[in-house]
Structure 1
Amino acid sequence: MTLRTATGDDLDDIMRLERASFPTDAWSDALMAGELASPHGRYVVDIEAGRLVGYGGVRAVQGAADADIQTIAIAADARGHGRGRALLRELLTTARSRGAREMFLEVRADNSGATALYLSEGFVEVGRRPRYYQPDDVDAVVMQLNLVAWEARTTAAPTAEKGWC
């Protein structure tokens, strides 16, 4: 697994995975290109054997109190190996380095795998947006994470796990 910041050169590969992952509500090429170019966000790609197998993006304006996970996608044949967690943690770290204290995201109510990942990292449900994902009529679960507490837990975790407390 190799994570690196996405560039405009990654757009075609990102869009292939975007369309495969979100067939009914994929972002447009123009929207994604704008996201990749924005100074207020950071997109990260996961490359294995020269193939883009995942990507994720965060909107985190320097100095702002909160940030938003924009998207995370992992190729179907690459799921279940910690790639989503690695991308998520990289995006959370980016937001924290830019000064964010709270992270928000929306996840499809029918995406139990992603929901479980977010809960395991400390996100909590703070609301719902009925029928947000169209044309599927699926609710969006709005989740929030205290980034300061998350950072403290993840920074302390290696020491605690090794019994060095």
Structure 2
Amino acid sequence: MRWWDIEPVLELEKDLFPEDAWSRGMFWSDLAHARGPEATRRYLVAVAPGGSRDDGAGGAAGRIVGYAGLAAAGDLADVQTIAVARDHWGTGLGGRLLTELLRAATSFECAEVMLECRIDNIRAQKLYERFGFEAIGFRRGYYQPGNVDALVMRLTDPTTSVAGTQGTETHG
């Protein structure tokens, strides 16, 4: 993900997470830590072929249909966000995005990956479980507004989860 991706990502963010969407500033802040030798973040976008999206370099690219982000601190990584456009649900895109985040966690030399997931988001929980994440607790009232609890999940070895997963069509 680059700065020119923020506006289309925000559109998707507001569609998918209307009550607790990230702000422009939140994305800018995390992207500021995603480049260079001291990078502690990895953000990427998935782009569908075709369309008229400007790729920031003057060329045309497709529509952003997903995005994901990871933050690393020491040997611990945290999945910040994963989102897939509704018309791409069930295509495996969420799994491809998660695979790339786990590869990033491995390159950051993280031994564990954590995440929070809405307690009512069963689809996401099943995705994370397929990758080896285990529920370890709850955060009461984590998602606002609405006071929705978060399920806290942990993956203890991201290198084993990414083995054998190929074929991502992401742009980062």
In the superposition, the TM-score normalised over structure 1's length comes to: 0.86
Return the structure number with greater helix share.
1
1:8–1:37 contact (8 Å) kept in structure 2:
no
Structure 1 position 29 matched with structure 2 position 24: yes
Higher RCO (CA < 8 A, seq sep 6+): 2
Q: Which has the higher mean CA deviation after the structures are superposed, 101-110 or 38-47? A: 38-47
* Aligned counterpart for 2:70 among listed residues 47, 52, 58: 58
> 3-state DSSP class of the match of 1:60?
strand
2:80–2:115 contact (8 Å) kept in structure 1:
yes
Count of residue correspondences? 148
d(CA) in 1 for partners of 2:127, 2:161: 16
2:102–2:161 contact (8 Å) kept in structure 1:
no
Cα deviations by residue, 1:54-103 (Å, 9 ceiling, x for unpaired): 00000024xx1110000000011111000000000100110111110000
Which ranges of structure 2 fall in alignment gaps of 5 or more residues?
34-38, 50-61, 166-172
1:143 is matched with which residue?
153
The amino acid of 1:7's aligned partner reads: R
Query: Aligned in 2, Cα 1:153/1:44: closer, same or farther, shift over 3 Å?
Result: closer
Q: How does 1:9-158 map to 2 (within 5 A)?
A: 9-38=4-33, 39-49=39-49, 50-61=62-73, 64-147=74-157, 150-152=158-160, 154-155=162-163, 157=164
1:162 is matched with which residue?
none
The amino acid of 1:9's aligned partner reads: W
d(CA) in 2 for partners of 1:142, 1:128: 5
Identity %: 42
Which ranges of structure 1 fall in alignment gaps of 5 or more residues?
1-5, 159-165
1:163 is matched with which residue?
none
d(CA) in 2 for partners of 1:92, 1:153: 8
2:16–2:83 contact (8 Å) kept in structure 1:
yes
